[in-house]
């Protein structure tokens, strides 16, 4: 359902996109690919061109956006929120949308800069768009966000306050965004902003069905698998405490470590339907990739090329091509750059 106000009729703000289509290089350990075409829908946010971000209030920022209303309905939970609306055709010709968990603070701003720069330096010959999702903050840095919109137009704002245990809303907003605006895009990649990815090798392994792991599958979660883990029962653990009332079982179902989750457009649609019949669980990755995966019979596919840190061991697949595509814990812009370079330089011995 569309959301509108009288003051919106006089404004036009289009959330654009950043598209990376880069030239191949002989430095990659992945075989070369034919260059693909990519849409260029980088549109100017005309309203923000005329405002001074240093004096713009958060309320003025919120009022300047165009929204759609999203209804999040679960078995024991219901909430309605607004999400920033993109232009029509934003995903035309796109092969993958990369959804990145972010925030409207200075640290996240610097991390976004690093991510954009590193992706530009990669030898990507596939069409992707990147979206950074962020909600409300007490200290929402309008002075940083507005210039980003002017230059990159790759932010998606939703009007829910940031709180770690409510990260399930951010996941849901990504699912809605993909299903509503990019239903034809085959691949959905959810990342934390401290996860470095080498996209040329990721697309290489997509083309090889991840060495047969996803052959004949049109629904799956490909990720670092978490198997045999227990819920945290310590009430003092504000982030991860789960009561027996919320989850009575001793163990979690097998699920994805949520810093890297690759899935398909079909899976996203299934998740949105399964959400309606699932009870709320304040462990977002467990709920979506574990509990809902069990309900909907979605396989969790472990891929050893996604690792929590750079290690000395080098997993290699068929053709002597490295499996390594992503590493977690790239907590700073410098670390993101370093880890991305290490992934690219991985070789088979």
Indicate the Cα dihedral angle 211, 197, 132, 125, nearest 10°.
-70
In this predicted structure, what is the pLDDT of residue 313?
Answer: 61
Estimate to the nearest angstrom the gap between the alpha carbon of 116 and the chain centroid: 14
In this predicted structure, what is the pLDDT of residue 46?
Answer: 54
| Backbone CA torsion sign across 302, 305, 306, 312 | positive
Q: 5 CB contacts (<8 Å, ≥6 apart)?
A: 63
Task: Compute the distance between CA of residue 300 and CA of residue 120 in angstroms, rounded to an integer.
Answer: 30
Residue 238: both structure tokens together: 């504000």
pTM here?
Answer: 0.86
Task: Compute the distance between CA of residue 245 and CA of residue 88 in angstroms, rounded to an integer.
Answer: 44
Task: Compute the distance between CA of residue 271 and CA of residue 266 in angstroms, rounded to an integer.
Answer: 9
Residue 7: both structure tokens together: 């003051």
In this predicted structure, what is the pLDDT of residue 205?
Answer: 98
**What is the residue-level pLDDT of the chain in tens, covering all 349 positions?**
444 443 333 333 333 333 333 333 333 444 343 334 333 334 435 567 778 999 999 999 999 999 999 999 999 999 999 999 998 999 999 999 999 999 999 999 999 999 999 999 997 899 999 999 999 999 999 999 999 999 999 999 999 999 999 999 999 999 999 999 999 999 999 999 999 999 999 999 999 999 999 999 999 999 999 999 999 999 999 999 999 999 999 999 999 999 999 999 999 999 999 999 999 999 999 999 999 999 999 999 999 999 998 875 678 999 999 999 999 999 999 999 999 999 999 888 7
Instruction: Domain ranges for the chain, please list them.
Output: 2-345
259: alpha, beta or left? (left if phi > 0; alpha if psi -120 to 50): alpha
In this predicted structure, what is the pLDDT of residue 255?
Answer: 99
In this predicted structure, what is the pLDDT of residue 246?
Answer: 97
């Amino acid at each position: 359902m569309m959301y509108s106000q009288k003051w919106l009729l006089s404004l036009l703000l289009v959330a654009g996109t950043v598209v990376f289509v880069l030239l191949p290089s002989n430095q990659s350990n992945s075989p070369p690919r034919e260059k693909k075409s990519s849409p260029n829908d980088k549109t100017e946010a005309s309203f923000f061109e005329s405002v001074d971000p240093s004096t713009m209030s958060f309320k003025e920022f919120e009022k300047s956006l165009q929204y759609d209303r999203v209804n999040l309905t679960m078995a024991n939970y219901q909430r309605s929120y607004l999400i920033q609306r993109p232009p029509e055709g934003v995903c035309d010709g796109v092969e993958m949308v990369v959804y990145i968990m972010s925030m409207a603070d200075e640290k996240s701003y610097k991390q976004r800069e690093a991510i954009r720069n590193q992706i530009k330096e990669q030898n990507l010959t596939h069409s992707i768009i990147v979206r950074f999702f962020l909600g409300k903050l007490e200290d929402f840095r309008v002075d940083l966000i507005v210039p980003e919109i002017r230059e990159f137009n790759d932010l998606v704002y939703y009007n829910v306050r940031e709180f770690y245990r409510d990260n399930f809303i951010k996941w849901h907003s990504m699912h809605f965004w993909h299903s509503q605006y990019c239903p034809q895009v085959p691949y959905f990649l959810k990342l934390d902003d401290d996860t470095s990815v080498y996209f040329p090798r990721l697309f290489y392994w997509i083309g090889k069905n991840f060495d047969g792991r996803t052959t004949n599958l049109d629904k799956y979660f490909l990720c670092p698998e978490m198997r045999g883990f227990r819920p945290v029962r310590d009430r003092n653990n504000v982030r991860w405490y789960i009561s027996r009332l919320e989850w009575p079982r001793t163990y979690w179902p097998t699920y994805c470590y949520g810093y890297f989750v690759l899935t398909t457009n079909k899976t996203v649609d299934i998740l949105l339907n399964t959400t309606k019949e699932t009870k709320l669980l304040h462990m977002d990755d467990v709920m979506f990739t574990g509990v809902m995966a069990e309900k909907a019979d979605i396989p969790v596919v472990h891929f050893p090329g996604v690792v929590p840190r750079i290690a000395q061991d080098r997993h290699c697949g068929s053709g002597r091509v490295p499996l390594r595509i992503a590493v977690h814990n790239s907590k700073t812009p410098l670390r993101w750059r370093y880890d991305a370079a290490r992934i690219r330089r991985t070789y088979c011995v």
